[in-house]
Structure 1
Amino acid sequence: MERNLLDAIGIPYNDSINSKGCKILFTSREETVCLLNKCKHPVNITTLTFDEAMDLFRNIVGTTVIDSLQDDYLVQEVCKKCAGLPLLIQAVGKALKFRSHSLWEDALYYLEKGNFKKIAGIDQQAYACVKLSIDRLPENAKLCLLLCSLFPKDSDISIGMLITIATGSRLKPSREYSTHTMVDIMKSSSLSLEGKYIGHIKLHDIVRDVASSLAFSDPKYAFLRVRCGSRLLDNVDFGIRKLLRSVVEGNDCPFHKDQVCPDLHSLWLHCNYLQKFSGSFFSMFVNFRFLMLQSVCHFPEHFSLQCLVKLRELFMIDCDIKEKDLSLLPENLHSLCIRACDLPRFLDLPNLKKLRKLEIEGLEDSKINEVMLVPNTISNLCSLEVLRIPNGYCYFGDASDRSVQDKICGLNLLTSLEIKLSDFKPCEGTTLFSKLLAYNICVSGQEDKDSRFRASFVSTTRLMKVYGYHSKCLESLMVRAEELSL
Structure 2
Amino acid sequence: MGGVGKTTLVRNVGGEVKGFDRVIMVTVSETLDIEKMQNKIADDIDLNFEKKTGEVKAAELWSRLSNGKFLVILDDLWKEWNDDGDLRKIGIPLVKDEKGCKIILTTRNYNVCQHMECEETVQVKVLEDDEAWTLFKMNAGLKKADSRVIGEAKKIVKECKGLPLAIVTLARALKSKGPNTWKDAREKLEGSELMEIRSIQKETDKNVYMSLKISYEHLEDKMAQTCFLLCALYPEDHSINVEDLVRYS
TM value normalised by structure 1? 0.31
- C-alpha displacement of 1:9: 4.1
Letter aligned with residue 246 of structure 2: I
In the alignment, the residues of structure 2 paired with residue 49 and residue 124 of structure 1 have an alpha-carbon distance, to the nearest angstrom, of 19
Letter aligned with residue 139 of structure 1: K
Q: Does 1:7 find its partner at 2:50?
A: no
State the SS of the aligned residue for 1:24.
strand
Cα gap change, 1:65 to 1:136, in 2 (>3 Å): farther
- C-alpha displacement of 1:133: 0.9
In the other structure, the counterpart of 2:123 is: 44
Q: Does 1:149 find its partner at 2:232?
A: yes
Q: Does 1:31 find its partner at 2:114?
A: no
In the alignment, the residues of structure 1 paired with residue 198 and residue 233 of structure 2 have an alpha-carbon distance, to the nearest angstrom, of 19
1:106 pairs, out of 184, 188, 192, with 184
- C-alpha displacement of 1:71: 5.2
- C-alpha displacement of 1:32: 3.1
Could you report, residue by residue, the CA deviation over 1:277-300 in whole angstroms, capped at 9, with x for unpaired residues?
xxxxxxxxxxxxxxxxxxxxxxxx
Contact 2:127 2:162 in 1 (8 A): yes
In the alignment, the residues of structure 2 paired with residue 153 and residue 90 of structure 1 have an alpha-carbon distance, to the nearest angstrom, of 20
- C-alpha displacement of 1:107: 0.7
- C-alpha displacement of 1:35: 3.9
In the other structure, the counterpart of 2:136 is: 57
- C-alpha displacement of 1:39: 2.3
Cα gap change, 1:129 to 1:8, in 2 (>3 Å): farther
- C-alpha displacement of 1:59: 1.0
Letter aligned with residue 77 of structure 1: K
State the SS of the aligned residue for 2:107.
coil
Q: How does 1:364-383 map to 2 (within 5 A)?
A: none
Q: Which has the higher strand share?
A: 1
In the alignment, the residues of structure 2 paired with residue 141 and residue 85 of structure 1 have an alpha-carbon distance, to the nearest angstrom, of 25
Q: How does 1:420-439 map to 2 (within 5 A)?
A: none
Larger Rg: 1
Contact 2:139 2:172 in 1 (8 A): yes
Query: What residue ranges of structure 1 are gaps of 5+ in the alignment?
Result: 167-486
Cα gap change, 1:157 to 1:71, in 2 (>3 Å): closer
In the alignment, the residues of structure 2 paired with residue 36 and residue 161 of structure 1 have an alpha-carbon distance, to the nearest angstrom, of 42
Letter aligned with residue 190 of structure 2: E
Q: Does 1:125 find its partner at 2:203?
A: no
Could you report, residue by residue, the CA deviation over 1:365-391 in whole angstroms, capped at 9, with x for unpaired residues?
xxxxxxxxxxxxxxxxxxxxxxxxxxx
Q: How does 1:178-217 map to 2 (within 5 A)?
A: none
Contact 1:81 1:129 in 2 (8 A): no
Could you report, residue by residue, the CA deviation over 1:120-142 in whole angstroms, capped at 9, with x for unpaired residues?
57621221111111111122111
Cα gap change, 1:97 to 1:38, in 2 (>3 Å): same
Cα RMSD (Å):
2.5
Contact 2:126 2:163 in 1 (8 A): yes
Q: Give the paired residue count.
A: 162
1:79 pairs, out of 157, 172, 191, with 157
- C-alpha displacement of 1:84: 1.4
Could you report, residue by residue, the CA deviation over 1:118-171 in whole angstroms, capped at 9, with x for unpaired residues?
4357621221111111111122111111111111122111223323432xxxxx
- C-alpha displacement of 1:73: 3.4
State the SS of the aligned residue for 1:102.
helix
- C-alpha displacement of 1:33: 3.6
In the other structure, the counterpart of 2:173 is: 95
In the alignment, the residues of structure 1 paired with residue 186 and residue 88 of structure 2 have an alpha-carbon distance, to the nearest angstrom, of 46
Contact 2:139 2:171 in 1 (8 A): yes
In the alignment, the residues of structure 2 paired with residue 50 and residue 100 of structure 1 have an alpha-carbon distance, to the nearest angstrom, of 24
Letter aligned with residue 217 of structure 2: D
Could you report, residue by residue, the CA deviation over 1:393-412 in whole angstroms, capped at 9, with x for unpaired residues?
xxxxxxxxxxxxxxxxxxxx
Q: Does 1:135 find its partner at 2:230?
A: no
Could you report, residue by residue, the CA deviation over 1:415-443 in whole angstroms, capped at 9, with x for unpaired residues?
xxxxxxxxxxxxxxxxxxxxxxxxxxxxx
Letter aligned with residue 43 of structure 1: V
- C-alpha displacement of 1:101: 0.9
Letter aligned with residue 128 of structure 1: M
In the alignment, the residues of structure 2 paired with residue 59 and residue 2 of structure 1 have an alpha-carbon distance, to the nearest angstrom, of 36
Contact 1:57 1:90 in 2 (8 A): yes
Letter aligned with residue 109 of structure 1: E
Q: Give the share of equivalent positions with the same residue, in percent.
A: 31
Cα gap change, 1:158 to 1:35, in 2 (>3 Å): farther
In the alignment, the residues of structure 2 paired with residue 38 and residue 154 of structure 1 have an alpha-carbon distance, to the nearest angstrom, of 27
Contact 2:192 2:210 in 1 (8 A): yes
Contact 1:6 1:37 in 2 (8 A): no
Q: Which has the higher helix share?
A: 2
Cα gap change, 1:162 to 1:35, in 2 (>3 Å): farther
Contact 1:65 1:98 in 2 (8 A): no
Higher relative contact order (CA 8 A, sep 6+): 2
- C-alpha displacement of 1:44: 0.2
- C-alpha displacement of 1:30: 2.5
